[in-house]
């Protein structure tokens, strides 16, 4: 704890879903064991795996982009949408997309490295 008496954050939801949902949904009571939940298919069960995680992340980024489009449209049409909500959603989407782009670049780089190696 600190010596500062700060007011509680307004609008902060500690139960908000993670930025990139990678693992299975954690129950409201929290995980049974300490640590992060495993990604789907990480135990070698045959279903999901890296492709399922990548698909989930792609869908999440697509949802974020759709949310920005809806908020921007609502702001332009004069609906009850605050400018700061639009800007926050746009920044969140930009960070998500840049992270996804970097992951793609690393995958392409790894593929090129593998294709250059001799068997």
What CA–CA distance (Å, rounded) separates 109 from 119? 18
- Domain range spanning residue 82? 50-116
User: Is 23 inside any structural domain?
Assistant: no
**Is this structure's pTM higher than 0.85?**
no
What CA–CA distance (Å, rounded) separates 113 from 9? 47
User: Is 15 inside any structural domain?
Assistant: no
User: Is 12 inside any structural domain?
Assistant: no
What CA–CA distance (Å, rounded) separates 44 from 41? 6
User: Is 32 inside any structural domain?
Assistant: no
Q: Residue 104 — pLDDT band, cuts 50, 70, 90?
A: very high
What CA–CA distance (Å, rounded) separates 50 from 106? 14
| pLDDT tens readout for residues 73-83 | 999 999 999 99
Give the tokens for residue 70: 């809806």
| pLDDT tens readout for residues 43-78 | 554 567 888 988 999 999 999 999 999 999 999 999
What CA–CA distance (Å, rounded) separates 54 from 74? 30
Give the tokens for residue 106: 């690393």
User: Is 31 inside any structural domain?
Assistant: no
Angle at 13 between CA 7 and CA 19, to 5 degrees: 125
Structural domain count, the chain: 1
């Amino acid at each position: 704890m600190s010596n500062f008496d700060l007011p509680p954050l307004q609008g902060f939801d500690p139960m908000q879903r993670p930025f990139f949902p990678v693992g299975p949904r954690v129950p409201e009571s929290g995980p049974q064991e300490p640590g992060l939940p495993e990604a789907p298919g990480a135990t070698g069960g045959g279903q999901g795996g890296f492709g399922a995680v990548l698909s989930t992340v792609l869908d999440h980024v697509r949802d974020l982009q759709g949310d920005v489009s809806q908020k921007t449209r609502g702001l332009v049409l004069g609906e009850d949408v605050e400018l700061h909500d639009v800007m926050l959603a746009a920044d969140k989407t930009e960070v998500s997309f840049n992270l996804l782009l970097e992951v793609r670049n690393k995958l392409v780089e790894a593929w090129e490295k593998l294709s250059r190696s001799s068997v």
